[in-house]
Amino acid sequence: MSDAVRSALREQRIETPSWAYANSGTRFKVFAQAGVPRTPEEKIADAGVVHRLTGVAPTVALHIPWDRVDDYAALAKYAADHGVDIGAINANVFQDDDYKLGSVTNPDPAVRRKATDHLLECVDVMDATGSRDLKLWFSDGTNYPGQDSIRARQGRLAEALREVYDRLGRNNPDQRMLLEYKLFEPAFYTTDVPDWGTSFAHCIELGPKATVCIDTGHHAPGTNIEFIVAFLLRAGKLGAFDFNSRFYADDDLMVGAADPFQLFRIMHEIVAADALRPEAGIAFMLDQCHNIEAKIPAIIRSVMNVQEATAKALLVDADALAAAQRSGDVLGANAVLMDAYSTDARPLLRELREELGLDPDPVAAYHRSGYQQQIETERVGGQQAGWGA
Ligand code: PSV
Ligand code: MN
């Protein structure tokens, strides 16, 4: 492994989401697990363990109000004491009764005001935690043709985004807005931010602090996600990933579980554009739910899956690829990519972890650590965190 590959892997940063440590499920059933956090602090403690074992997950994203506390500066201090920083602040304008017909696109101006105020509150939270990124996902849309004006809703969306955008950076010039899209669900007919093009257009209108967040689970089957990655990278408008994988709709399974080749192709575009470096400003985040599997080992596994895909992307022989592409050698170019993808990157990553003083097998290290038994014994009573809690 070349020094460049080694140092790129050492520098890689993957953010874990607070909600992945909590209980989750489908609309049919949430299965509770023993030892699940009851407070934002306990979620952060779990994120600290994932970082300690993997060495590449130094930030944890919060979701407001799921992670609402009285003192966010104190929460950031608590996180630092556990070896992690607070990452993106995710707004939540999808769980109040008021939002039945939408949040920032609701036909009622009073509901729009309430939703926009929540987004502004999230920027206040960012000021207190030192977070750079505000991540916005809107469940807004309609279920039936004629229900509302599609065009008017776009106008209302633009207005709310503008107000929030203009509030960014008052105390921290690095603050950014990440606008996430999702094809459908919960709205079934129109969704107000359904695809990367809509998100891109709003981000362009807003200005340089607004960029697109690609949630890998939010596309129609067969969508070429690496094309979207390449396009947005060229335009300087790719801000972040919400990594997960899907077999059918938004399944929120472990990244790299359903289609590791797709993850490799995505990471190849990132590496080819030299966008892996933290200074490139792309946040590599997980957005997953572990409904039936043990949560902390699943999150560790997910971090490792991203590392593996990244290592393979870094192993692509860029010179050989460029030469084959220049000479129109279709099979040769494809072979260069497939050679890298077919390489077993696990020994390299084990070596790297040892160099960093980590256990080469973080999942086994977790099972040996006794942490799971500890949280199962200690976290008894109280209300386990989960959707809406
Ligand atoms: C919506 O499906 C989404 O991907 C958004 O990122 C939300 O914030 C997150 O899931 C909630 O789990
Ligand atoms: Mn997401």
pLDDT at 66 over 80: yes
- Do the beta carbons of residue 152 and residue 163 sit within 8 Å? no
- What was the pLDDT predicted at 388? 53
For the CA of 137, the nearest ligand: 1
- The response to whether residue 180 sits with its C-beta less than 6 Å from ligand 1 reads yes
Q: Tell me what pLDDT residue 293 has.
A: 98
Q: Hey, what are 305's tokens?
A: 């899956």
pLDDT digits (tens, 9 = 90+) for 142-200: 999 999 999 999 999 999 999 999 999 999 999 999 999 999 999 999 999 999 999 99
Give the whole-angstrom CA distance, residue 264 versus residue 365. 26
pLDDT level of residue 2 (50, 70, 90 thresholds): confident
Q: What's the whole-number mean pLDDT along residues 192-216? A: 99
Q: Give the N- to C-terminal CA distance of the chain in Å, as an integer.
A: 46
pLDDT tens column, 282-334: 999 999 999 999 999 999 999 999 999 999 999 999 999 999 999 999 999 99
Q: What is the pLDDT of residue 1?
A: 62
203 band by pLDDT with thresholds 50, 70 and 90: very high
Q: What is the DSSP letter of 255?
A: T
Atom of ligand 1 lying closest to residue 244 CA: 4
Report the distance separating Cα 3 and Cα 11, nearest Å. Answer: 12
pLDDT of residue 260: 98
| Ligand nearest, relative to CA of residue 185 | 1
User: Which atom of ligand 1 is least distant from the CA of 92?
Assistant: 8
∠ CA 112-149-222, rounded to 5°:
95
- 248 phi and psi, to 5 degrees? -125, -80
Residue 287 Cβ contacting ligand 1 at under 6 Å? yes
In this prediction, residues 37-55 reach a mean pLDDT of 98
Domain ranges within the chain, ordered by starting residue: 3-378
Candidate CATH numbers 3.20.20.150, 3.40.718.10, 3.40.50.150, 3.40.50.1000; the one for domain 3-378: 3.20.20.150
Stretch 50-57: mean pLDDT, rounded?
98
Tell me how crowded residue 251 is: count the other CB atoms within 10 A of its CB: 17
Question: What pLDDT is stored for residue 255 in this prediction?
Answer: 98
- Pocket of ligand 1 contains residue 67 by CB under 6 Å: no
Residue 264 has what pLDDT?
99
Mutation test of ligand 1: which of 185, 215, 251 has the most ligand atoms closer than 8 Å to its C-beta?
Answer: 215
Q: What is the pLDDT of residues 14-23, one digit of tens each?
A: 999 999 999 9
- Regarding the beta carbon of 19 and ligand 1, being less than 6 Å apart is answered yes
- pLDDT at residue 350, as a whole number: 98
pLDDT greater than 70 at residue 389:
no
Helices (H), the chain: 3-11, 40-54, 72-81, 109-129, 150-167, 196-206, 225-235, 260-272, 295-314, 318-326, 330-342, 346-355, 362-369, 371-378
Of ligand 1's atoms, which has the minimum distance to the CA of residue 91? 8
Nearest CA to ligand 1 atom 3: 137
- Among protein residues, the one with the nearest Cα to ligand 1's atom 7 is 137
Looking at residues 348-362, what average pLDDT do you find?
98
Of all protein residues, whose CA lies closest to atom 5 belonging to ligand 1? 137
